[in-house]
Amino acid sequence: MTVREKGYTHWEGELKESRWVWFPLTRLGIKMAFQKRFFKLFYFSTFLPALIFLAGIYISERLEDFRFMLRGSPAFLKITPNYFKIYLSNSLFLFILVLVMIFVGGGLIADDLRFNALQLYFARPLRKIDYVIGKMATLSFFILLLSLVPGVLFILFKLLFAGNLVFLRHYPWLPLAVVGYSLVLTLFFAAYALALSALSRNNRYASLMIFGVYFISDIIFNIFYQNFHHPYLVLLSLKLNLQQVAAGLFGLSPPYAVPWSLSLGVLLGLVFLAFVILQKRIRSVEVVK
């Protein structure tokens, strides 16, 4: 009878790379966000402004039915590119996005650093770029649901309520403006939140930074602007840069006499800086295969 020595059997299969290797990270991030206390209530309440704007579109097409409630034709009910710009760039909406980033993005990388989870991630067939894409996609999911989806629905319901394509013939570029600005919001806020989350192992500190940097930039702008009244100081404020870009993409005059392309350059520069931070913070723990 043959006696065989028991030893380790090497796996001789072929490891196939997948383009969607980052997706489990995204799915986990979304799932964990909805498991947080009060997040479901908060997030679903953030769709209330979209419902109000959608009601405004309906009323604008049925003014005769609501004449008893309205005097004249309020400017708010004139559906033009400015209507979409107001929804996507008003101060309340941008503040809501900051709160979403705090809820979802504060601990997205900070918790991984705190619990040394990066070593476990990179011990699998997961590259650094896959890790970053997975985290970015988690934040993008929540931002696009609040920006791109309502923007597209506004256009569709405007055409549906009007019963014709006149609106789209007047503004054929509007869908591209909605998509473009939604992507600007998504890229900026996702990179912004991830970079600040990567700077700390404590998700509370990261959340405070996400909140603080956004509002401190606006405070600094107000202090300098009250003293010097120079329009280019707008480049100091994250909120105002986003509003400048919104005006430019929707074909409107920016709030301040500064080319909106400069504000776009500032935002893209901050996104680049965010990726540099991610590169530095993640590089030291990546397992090279």
Render pLDDT for 236-251 as a digit per residue (tens, 0 to 9): 999 999 999 999 999 9
Which candidate, 105, 118, 121, 99, places its Cα nearest to that of 194? 105
What is the DSSP track for 7-74? Answer: -PPPP---PPP-TTTTHHHHHHHHHHHHTSTTHHHHHHHTTHHHHHHHHHHHHHH-GGGGTTT-SS--
The answer to whether position 11 is within a domain reads no
pLDDT tens-digit readout, 19-56 = 788 999 999 999 999 999 899 999 999 999 999 999 99
Name the DSSP letter for residue 159.
Answer: H
Q: What percent of the chain has pLDDT over 90?
A: 76
Widest pairwise Cα distance in the chain: 101
The answer to whether position 136 is within a domain reads yes
Minimum mean pLDDT range among 114-118, 157-161, 174-178, 281-285:
281-285
Specify whether the CB–CB gap between 252 and 82 falls below 8 A. Answer: yes
Which candidate, 219, 33, 69, 232, places its Cα nearest to that of 143? 33
- pLDDT at 287 exceeding the cut of 50: no
The answer to whether position 8 is within a domain reads no
Domains in the chain: how many in total? Answer: 1
- pLDDT at 72 exceeding the cut of 80: no
Single-letter amino acid, residue 53: F
Mean pLDDT computed over 199-222: 96
Domain span at 55: 23-283
* 181-to-5, 21, 115, 245, 251 alpha-carbon distances in Å: 65, 28, 36, 8, 12
The answer to whether position 28 is within a domain reads yes
The mean pLDDT value of the chain amounts to: 90
pLDDT at 8: 60
Query: 210 or 76, which is more confident?
Result: 210
The answer to whether position 288 is within a domain reads no
pLDDT at 286: 47
Specify whether the CB–CB gap between 2 and 66 falls below 8 A. Answer: no
d(CA 90, CA 94): 6
Supply angle C-alpha 209, 104, 189, rounded to 5: 60
- pLDDT at 289 exceeding the cut of 60: no
- pLDDT at 9 exceeding the cut of 70: no
Query: 117 or 235, which is more confident?
Result: 235
The phi, psi pair for 253, rounded to 5°, reads -75, 130
pLDDT at 48: 97
DSSP run (H or E) holding 223: helix 203-228
The answer to whether position 16 is within a domain reads no
pLDDT at 126: 85
pLDDT at 237: 97
The answer to whether position 289 is within a domain reads no
pLDDT tens-digit readout, 90-108 = 999 999 999 999 999 999 9
Please, is 105 exposed, middle or buried when counting C-beta atoms within 10 Å of its C-beta (0-12, 13-18, 19+)?
buried
For the record, the structure tokens of 91 come out as: 């101060």
Q: How many Cα atoms sit within 13 Å of 194 on the Cβ side?
A: 30
- pLDDT at 220 exceeding the cut of 50: yes
pLDDT tens-digit readout, 121-180 = 887 778 899 999 999 999 999 999 999 999 999 999 999 998 889 999 999 999 999 999
pLDDT at 123: 75
The answer to whether position 14 is within a domain reads no
